[in-house]
Copies of this chain bind each other. A is one copy, B any other.
Amino acid sequence: MKAKSRQKTRTNSKGRKKSRAADEDGISLYKRIKLEVTRTLSSGDISPNDPLPTEKQLAAHYNVSIGTVRRAMDDLVAEHIVVRQQGRGTFLAALSPERMLNRFWPMFRQDGVRVIPIVQTLSFEEGRADAETAEALGLRKGDPIYRIVNLLLMGGNPVILDEINLSKKLYFGLREEHLVARETTMYGFYQSHFGINVFRVLDRLHAASANQWRAERLGVPLNSPLLSVIRIAYAFGNRPVEFRKSFLSTDAYEYRNAIGGEIRVD
Contacts and interface: CB of A to CB of B under 8 A. Distances in A.
A80 B238 CA distance: 23
Given A227-B227, A260-B80, A265 B35 contact: yes
Contact of A238 (B78, B199, B225, B263): B263
Contact of A225 (B38, B81, B200, B225): B225
Given A31-B265, A201-B259, A226 B227 contact: no
Contact of A258 (B198, B200, B258, B263): B200
B205 A205 contact: yes
A261 B225 contact: no
Interface string A208-233: 11000000000000001111000000
A259 B204 contact: no
A143 interface: no
Given A259-B104, A261-B81, A263-B238, A225 B201 contact: no
A203 interface: yes
Interface range for A? 35 or more
Interface stretch (A51-59, A119-127, A177-185, A247-255): A247-255
A260 B224 CA distance: 31
A260 B38 CA distance: 15
A203 B255 CA distance: 8
Interface of A: 1, 31, 34-35, 38, 74, 78-81, 103-104, 106, 108, 198-209, 224-227, 234, 238, 248-250, 254-266
Lowest 4 A-B CB distances belong to which pairs? A200-B260, A207-B225, A206-B250, A79-B261
